[in-house]
Amino acid sequence: MNSKHQYVELSDGHFIPPLGLGTYKLQQVPNSNVTEATKIAIEAGFRHIDCAYVYQVEEEVGLAIRSKIADGTVKREDIFYTSKDWPSPLGCPTLTAASWR
């Protein structure tokens, strides 16, 4: 366990930070705000980023993550990105998780 960040072990042996940044925004909020908020969150120590296709900000979140990797703030393997596929055949979201480890 990293002394700076705490993690929860998943059933497959991977670890995920228990607290994540949610990236949902209201329609009237510019998408660029999500990019900046995500960068600030990563700088503050967030390593779990939660998004969804229906939020329509996946590109902005990706730009922020790539920017923080490029400037050395975080390593790719430190980010745990979760998303949701909507709708599922049951009419409810399906959680998908992608760790860049």
Residue 55 known to be catalytic: yes
19 phi, psi to nearest 5 deg: -115, 130
Indicate the SS3 state at residue 72. Answer: coil
From 7, 24, 53, 55, the catalytic residue: 55
Question: What pairing do the DSSP bridges indicate for beta strands 8-9 and 21-22?
Answer: unpaired
Separation of CA 66 from chain center:
12
Q: Determine the Cα–Cα distance for residues 22 and 3; give it in Å rounded to an integer.
A: 24
- Active site members: 55
